[in-house]
Structures are given as C-alpha cells and as structure tokens.
Amino acid sequence: MISLKQYWSRLLALVLVMTIALVGCSGNGLLTGDYRQDTLSLVNSMRTAIELPEDSPEKSSAQADARLRINEFFARYRRDESVAKLASFTTMQTALNGLAGHYNSYPNRPVPKKLKDRLEQEFKQVESALSRGT
C-alpha cells in the first residue's frame, strides 16, 4: 500500500511528464512560419535584449529568449531558398551573427555601444527591406 506522500509524488511526476510531452510536441515554438512576421518579432526580441539595463531582473530572460529565437530563426529560414536570397534575410543574418557571436564569446559582458549601434542600423535596414518586400 502506498502512502499519501508517495501518491502525491507519483501524481506530480506524471503531471510533469505529461506537461513536458505536450509542450515538446506542440508545434514550431516561437515562429509562426510567416517570414515577415517572424523577422519583425525577432528584431523586437533582439532590441529588448540589448536595450535593457544590465541590472534589470528581466535581462537574462530577455537574452535567453533572443538566443532561442535566433536559433529557431536560423533553423527555419537558413535553407529556405525563397527567403535566403532576400536583402532582409542577409542583413538579418549579419545582425544575428554579430549578437550571437557576442553572447557566445562574452556571455557575462554587456553588449558594447559600437555593436548596439551597428545592430540598430541593421534592424532598420531589415525593417525597410521588409516593407519593400525584399
């Protein structure tokens, strides 16, 4: 016979396993499949991650969200020939590589102003290219 404590422990384990299974199988994550919408969403996420003050409690979660979105964006669109040749994609790829490189090389350091300025310029170019449909 199992005790009440063992019962609740097993029930909690079952609920956690089911939650992980359902979330893991629930589709494509943060991307919608609409290149324009996904790119604008990623730009906003990246802006948030680099503009938050270093002492902000949301900084680490914003950076983690940006990294996750960068990885998903690359995984989804890098091999899509209809997207890979667009000016917005190549500029976005340059920006993503710059920020991802900083996060990988200097995870505990703030993004330097020079990189922030370059990223903002590239974000504006991406938004402009998307508005033109390229």
Q: Which of 20-24, 50-54, 65-69, 128-132 has the lowest mean pLDDT?
A: 20-24
Quote the pLDDT of residue 39. Answer: 93
pLDDT (average), residues 9-22: 62
* Per-residue pLDDT tens digits for 46-61: 898 888 888 888 888 8
Tell me which H or E stretch contains 111. none
Work out the average pLDDT over 12-37. Answer: 66
Q: Please say if the pLDDT value at position 66 is more than 60.
A: yes
Q: How far apart are CA 91 and CA 114, in angstroms?
A: 17
Q: How confident is the model at residue 31, as a pLDDT?
A: 81
pLDDT value at residue 118: 95
Q: Hey, what amino acid is at 54?
A: E
Q: What is the residue whose two structure tokens read 């703030």?
A: 110
Is the full-model pTM beyond 0.85? no
Residue 26: pLDDT band (50, 70, 90) is: very low
Phi, psi dihedral angles at 32 (to 5 degrees): -100, -20
